[in-house]
RNA sequence: GCCCCCAUCGUCCAGCGGCCUAGGACGCCGGCCUUUCACGCCGGUAACACGGGUUCGAAUCCCGUUGGGGGUGCCA
């Protein structure tokens, strides 16, 4: 790995020196998202790999917001990045850096390229470029039309970088090896927009140099643009460029890049469904990388210790929700009851709509249910949003019968009326202080009736349907205590009258 | 169109020339446990895209084909 650059002095920017003086011996990486209103799972994975690499190597990770496009600049957009990163537990060194605030540096670099003849002005619109292509019989593209037109600077005039027409630009990629681009396929790209703002390629080169970035770890979709940055880097005399590592794309089941339109890409969606951040991180770490010992679900600290950028696989990785469920369920099972309750309570009022600010008494009741049923619930759910479906009958104060379940247990089932009557009578004498005793009372009724009728009578199904409305669910006994004696008896009675 | 990347079970990852009759995990199927549903445990299913080389020997190296994906903006 071409890791430690031998930069001479803290900055190779010369008169563009910024504020990031530091020795370059330890790696320094950056996570550089564009603020788009939410954090994409792919971006989260990129952030994670940068973070893992930095933590593993003892280096630093900085957060740089790529907001050269003025429309991307709002506090809400920044929060939409920072907040999910915090949720995941990914921290960064120093304060976030805003590219928009470093404009002076970028413009100075543009001036220098202009002065050195490495860049020039162009006033051609998209339509004019297309027209010239057509007239010259050239394929669509720019083809350096304004190189010798001596366009003067002015409103709406852009600055383009003059690319070499021959030779090749090579990216030595840590995960892909040597990737070569023929320069003839590179066009003179825009480095300053018509409104005077620098574009991201330019800002990228300048900021990576100025901030002392040693490794650029990002998505494969940016591999094609790397030659541009490398060319700028060289033209600006920045010395040896950072090492690059282009991570495999995250794709959907149809093997397409995850997209906002088709797929659930916002990290917040997963948080809202009750995926634990630790599970999310663990899952993300396994996309494109795997630990050498094949133990996949493990604490972050171990992942940090084992992480190796050079072991990242180049093939695209399917972000599989089923796998996420499995990992999440494993993390949920491992939670101590109290912690499980903390995490689950917000999801118990309404599935898919965690309640922000529950009323205090209701909250205490819900929390008690969560704590006392923790183990049984943890075994049954993949994500916290699923919890409501198991306990709603305890919390809602009413039963909604599933007619199929009713029919099976009450109509087709043997001696349902007798079961309900006997259970109700025997329960009336109990104080509901022991779940085990409740179990033996209910089961005892079944045994008794089996003996009396000379055939197997199951007492649990009618009781379960009477209490929960459904044919399957949690073990009944602790929930019965939670439901309380009077509610239990009244539901049994209600079912009996409905027969 | 042009440029670039990728290619081991359905999926994620192991394999970096002989230890591979290809390993693990998820999923799926079957069994055990269980007077519900689950959890857990045991077992099974299933892959080196194709064709040429190189080599004593290739899933592993090279070339080609096919297939998939990405890029091709005054977005990043």
Which nucleotide is the nearest neighbour of A128, by CA and C1'?
B74
Share of chain A above pLDDT 70, in %: 92
How many angstroms separate the CA atoms of A62 and A73, rounded? 19
Residues A150-175: what's their mean pLDDT? 95
Say yes or no to pLDDT of A219 above 50: yes
Nearest to A114 by CA among A235, A247, A243: A235
How many angstroms separate the CA atoms of A446 and A378, rounded? 29
Q: ipTM of this model?
A: 0.95
Which nucleotide is the nearest neighbour of A171, by CA and C1'?
B4
Say yes or no to pLDDT of A5 above 50: no
The number of helices, as runs of H, and strands, as runs of E, in chain A is: 20, 12
Q: Which contacts qualify for A469-474: CB closer than 8 Å, 24 or more apart?
A: A469/A393, A469/A399, A469/A400, A469/A401, A469/A402, A469/A405, A469/A406, A470/A393, A470/A402, A470/A405, A471/A402, A471/A404, A471/A405, A471/A408, A471/A409, A473/A390, A473/A393, A474/A373, A474/A376, A474/A377, A474/A380, A474/A390, A474/A391
Nearest to A189 by CA among A149, A221, A143, A151: A143
Say yes or no to pLDDT of A397 above 90: no
Q: HSE (CB half, 13 Å, CA atoms) of A334?
A: 12
How many angstroms separate the CA atoms of A303 and A315, rounded? 21
Say yes or no to pLDDT of A60 above 60: yes
Confidence (pLDDT) at A360: 59
Q: Are A276 and A87 in contact (CB under 8 A)?
A: no
Confidence (pLDDT) at A68: 82
Strand partners of residue A98: A65
Share of chain A above pLDDT 90, in %: 83
Alpha-carbon distance values, A117 to A50, A121, A122, A161 (Å): 36, 11, 14, 9
C1' (B14) to CA (A311) span, angstroms? 12
C1' (B8) to CA (A316) span, angstroms? 14
Which nucleotide is the nearest neighbour of A156, by CA and C1'?
B74
Q: Are A483 and A474 in contact (CB under 8 A)?
A: no
pLDDT tens-place string over residues A315-370: 999 999 999 999 999 999 999 999 999 999 999 865 444 455 556 567 888 999 99
- Considering only residues 427-456 of protein chain A, which place a Cβ less than 7 A from any atom of strand B? 443, 446-447
Confidence (pLDDT) at A75: 84
From the list A6, A73, A260, A408, the catalytic residue is A260
Under DSSP, is residue A70 helix (H, G, I), strand (E, B) or coil?
helix
Q: Are A174 and A242 in contact (CB under 8 A)?
A: no
A446 class by beta-carbon count within 10 Å (0-12 exposed, 13-18 middle, 19+ buried): buried
Q: HSE (CB half, 13 Å, CA atoms) of A213?
A: 27
How many angstroms separate the CA atoms of A35 and A487, rounded? 52
Q: Nearest CA to the C1' of B71 belongs to which residue? A: A224
Please, which pLDDT band fits residue A71 given cuts at 50, 70 and 90? low
Please, which pLDDT band fits residue A414 given cuts at 50, 70 and 90? confident
Strand partners of residue A181: A169
How many angstroms separate the CA atoms of A60 and A63, rounded? 10
- Considering only residues 101-160 of protein chain A, which place a Cβ less than 7 A from any atom of strand B? 123-126, 139-142, 156, 158
Q: Tally the residues of chain A.
A: 499
How many angstroms separate the CA atoms of A64 and A87, rounded? 18
**Which nucleotides of strand B come closer than 7 angstroms to any CB of the protein?**
1-8, 10-16, 23-27, 35-40, 68-76
How many angstroms separate the CA atoms of A98 and A65, rounded? 5
- The residue ranking higher by pLDDT, A135 or A30, is A30
Nearest to A245 by CA among A62, A82, A54, A481: A54
How many angstroms separate the CA atoms of A190 and A211, rounded? 23
pLDDT tens-place string over residues A436-472: 999 999 999 999 999 999 988 999 999 999 999 999 9
Average pLDDT, chain A: 91
- Of chain A, the end-to-end C-alpha distance in Å amounts to 75
How many angstroms separate the CA atoms of A27 and A57, rounded? 7
Q: Is A260 a catalytic residue?
A: yes
């Amino acid at each position: 790995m071409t890791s430690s650059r031998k930069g001479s002095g803290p900055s190779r920017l010369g008169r563009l020196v910024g504020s990031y003086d530091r020795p370059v011996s330890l790696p320094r990486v950056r996570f550089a998202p564009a603020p788009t209103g939410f954090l994409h799972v792919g971006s989260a994975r990129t952030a994670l790999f940068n973070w893992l690499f930095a933590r593993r190597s003892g280096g630093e990770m900085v957060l740089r917001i790529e907001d050269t496009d003025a429309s991307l600049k709002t506090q809400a957009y920044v929060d939409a990045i920072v907040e999910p990163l915090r949720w995941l537990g990914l921290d960064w060194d120093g304060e976030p850096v805003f590219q928009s605030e470093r404009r002076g540096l970028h413009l100075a670099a543009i001036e220098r390229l202009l002065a050195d003849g490495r860049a020039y002005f162009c006033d051609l619109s998209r339509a004019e470029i297309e027209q010239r292509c057509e007239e010259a019989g050239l394929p669509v593209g720019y083809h350096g039309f304004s190189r010798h037109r001596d366009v003067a600077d002015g409103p709406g005039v852009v600055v383009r970088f003059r690319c070499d027409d021959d030779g090749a630009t090579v990216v030595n990629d840590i995960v892909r090896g040597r990737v070569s681009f023929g320069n003839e396929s590179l066009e003179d790209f825009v480095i300053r927009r018509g409104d005077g703002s620098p574009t991201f390629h330019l800002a990228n080169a300048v900021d990576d140099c100025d901030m002392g970035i040693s490794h650029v770890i990002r998505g494969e979709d940016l591999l094609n643009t790397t030659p541009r940055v490398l060319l700028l880097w060289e033209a600006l005399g920045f010395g040896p460029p950072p090492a690059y590592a282009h991570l495999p794309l995250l794709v959907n089941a149809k093997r397409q890049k995850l997209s906002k339109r088709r797929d659930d890409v916002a990290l917040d969606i997963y948080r809202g469904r009750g995926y634990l951040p630790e599970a999310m991180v663990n899952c993300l770490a396994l996309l494109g990388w795997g630990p050498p010992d094949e133990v996949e679900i493990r604490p972050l600290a171990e992942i940090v210790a084992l992480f190796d950028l050079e072991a990242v696989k180049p093939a695209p990785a399917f972000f599989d929700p089923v796998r996420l469920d499995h990992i999440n369920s494993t993390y949920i099972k491992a939670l101590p009851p109290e912690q499980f309750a903390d995490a689950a309570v917000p999801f118990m009022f309404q599935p898919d709509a965690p309640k922000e600010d529950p009323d205090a008494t209701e909250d205490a009741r819900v929390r008690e249910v969560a704590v006392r049923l923790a183990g049984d619930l943890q075994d049954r759910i993949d994500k916290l949003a699923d919890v409501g479906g198991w306990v709603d009958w305890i919390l809602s104060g009413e039963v909604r019968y599933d007619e199929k379940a009713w029919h099976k247990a009450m109509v087709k089932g043997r001696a349902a009326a007798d079961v309900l009557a006997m259970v109700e009578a025997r329960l009336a004498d109990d104080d509901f202080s022991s779940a085990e005793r409740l179990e033996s009372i209910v089961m005892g009724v079944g045994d008794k009736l089996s003996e009396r009728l000379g055939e197997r009578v199951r007492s649990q199904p009618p009781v379960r349907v009477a209490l929960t409305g459904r044919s399957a669910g949690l073990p009944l006994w602790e929930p019965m205590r939670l439901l309380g004696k009077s509610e239990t008896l009244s539901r049994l009675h209600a079912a009996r009258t409905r027969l």
